[in-house]
Amino acid sequence: MRFEARELGKAFGGTAALNDVSLRVAPGRIHAVLGENGAGKSTLMRIVAGAEHADSGSMLLDGAPFAPNNPRAARNCGVAIVYQELSLCPHLSVMDNLLLGVEPNRFGFISARRARERLDAALAFAPKLRQRLAFDRPVFELSTAERQLVEIARALAVRQPRLLILDEPTSSLGRSDVDLLFEALLELSQKGLSVLYISHFLEELRRIAHDYTVLRDGLSVDTGRVADKTNDELIAAMAGHRVEHATHASRPQGELLIEGVELCGPALPVSASFQLHRGEILGIAGLVGSGRSELLRTLFGLERLRAGQLRVAHVSGSRTPAQRLAQGVGLLSEDRKGEGLALSLSVAQNLTLSKLAHVKRRGLLSPELEQQVASELVQRLGIRCSNVGQKVTELSGGNQQKVALGRLLYHGVDVLLLDEPTRGIDVRSRGEIHRLIVQLAAQGKAILIVSSQLEELFEVCDRIAVMHRGRLGPALPREQRSEHEVLLAATGGA
């Protein structure tokens, strides 16, 4: 057995994050670790990677005791991890990032030739991944998807690992990059590399994983072969009960709230025409880099409108984000931690920050009123937190996303521009957010969703449009679309 965890336990204060968790990973196998946010997956991975120490239990690597004191010790033993949150140095080149801290040098001088030779040799087992990496290019010029590939290459480049841990590696990747990653992982597994793979996307696990272990409330509750379980069975194991999917009946279209005619941004989009009505959920599919996010940012005023005609309600032309908020238009950024939340502030502060006038008395901020308003939103949205004063950074990804959505509702927006609203969150939280989106549409809100997950668009949207190379195609009723046809349009095959 390549790796074995036996009855691992870990507590933070009085909270047990892990309680007798066990799993076994065979050589050359890709082993999925499933569970809702807060189930203990990240804690387990950090223990395996040497970033945390278990309070109880033991680990074995290729049959030998394995108890790394720190991540470097784990790496020296052949265990590497790629975290969901990227940790690259944007001002350095790709090559500098790949070899950071282990640069080949002689007499104190770094040898660029030896560095390139080392990387070429280290990445020779994944030639297609190597071809995508321009070593001399600065990281700040790369897309999010390209940066994710650099992170994965860095884990492989320094010392070829025996066990690779990937935490939501595809959360920022488009379909073509996912295919590239999966091809590389399967190639690596065939050469004996074992992989611990965390993902909330069951359709991905069907493609890539051989085995699985389900964690729930810090316990390992189920394990086996992925092929032996249905998706509903895996979801039930993660949640502890059957999870209902969001459903919605057809709704009559209300008044026209946004109309764009041949909209053009600084670079993207190239041409986008659409209409969004009250009570409607309009979805936009497309590959990463097609211009989907840029369209939403242009609508909200974060990007300049270079050409075209844009009308929001009865106001024509571009506006600033503050003016859009005043018009009742809100944006949920795909970068939840970078743009969507103030991580150093509490749940209550994040919920009310954009409209403090409603939580003031006699011109001064009222903590009591702020907590009252926040508590009502927490209850309405089902945000799981110890109290509204808890730091938002301490919440799970799904609950952080609910806080970001809650701020838009507190602001009273009529139009919600949602960019990847369920990226990186668990199955149950995704279902809860889907149901919330459907409820908001039923209440007369107009919702525009960008998502890389086709099943998400087909589950909640009334109409779906496809963007390809900056050009937005026609929005057709969901019933007139198929996932195959949408994928062909997104890749330029239709």
Domain that holds residue 10: 3-239
Give the count of beta carbons closer than 10 Å to the beta carbon of residue 110.
Answer: 12
Query: What would the pLDDT profile of 94-137 be if each residue is shown by its tens digit?
Result: 888 888 766 666 666 777 777 777 777 777 766 767 777 788 88
One domain, residues 483 and 448: yes
Classify residue 132: in a domain, yes or no: yes
One domain, residues 318 and 223: no
One domain, residues 182 and 263: no
Query: What would the pLDDT profile of 59-80 be if each residue is shown by its tens digit?
Result: 999 999 999 999 889 988 989 8
pLDDT at position 405, please? 93
One domain, residues 460 and 416: yes
One domain, residues 432 and 469: yes
Using DSSP's 3-state secondary structure scheme, residue 307 falls into strand
Say which amino acid occupies 64. Answer: A
Query: What would the pLDDT profile of 370-428 be if each residue is shown by its tens digit?
Result: 999 999 999 999 898 999 999 999 888 888 999 999 999 999 999 999 999 988 777 77
Match 């002689």 to its residue by tokens: 106
Question: Structure tokens of 440?
Answer: 């908001």
Classify residue 235: in a domain, yes or no: yes
Mean pLDDT across the chain: 87
One domain, residues 216 and 361: no
Classify residue 248: in a domain, yes or no: no
One domain, residues 86 and 211: yes
End of a domain among 239, 270, 295? 239
One domain, residues 219 and 346: no
C-alpha 377: how far from chain center:
24
Classify residue 140: in a domain, yes or no: yes
One domain, residues 229 and 268: no
End of a domain among 239, 274, 292? 239
439 pLDDT more than 90: yes
pLDDT at position 210, please? 94
pLDDT bracket for residue 287 (50, 70, 90): confident
Cα–Cα dist 481/479, whole Å: 6
One domain, residues 355 and 486: yes
Classify residue 249: in a domain, yes or no: no
Classify residue 42: in a domain, yes or no: yes
CATH code, 94? 3.40.50.300
The per-residue DSSP string of 61-100 comes to ETTEE---SSHHHHHHTTEEEE-SS----TTSBHHHHHTT
Number of independent structural domains in the chain:
2
Using DSSP's 3-state secondary structure scheme, residue 263 falls into strand
pTM of the model: 0.69
Residue of 122, 189, 86 lying closest to 135 (CA atoms): 122
One domain, residues 112 and 224: yes
> Which of the 8 DSSP states describes residue 353?
T
Cα–Cα dist 19/55, whole Å: 10
One domain, residues 267 and 407: yes
Classify residue 246: in a domain, yes or no: no
Classify residue 57: in a domain, yes or no: yes
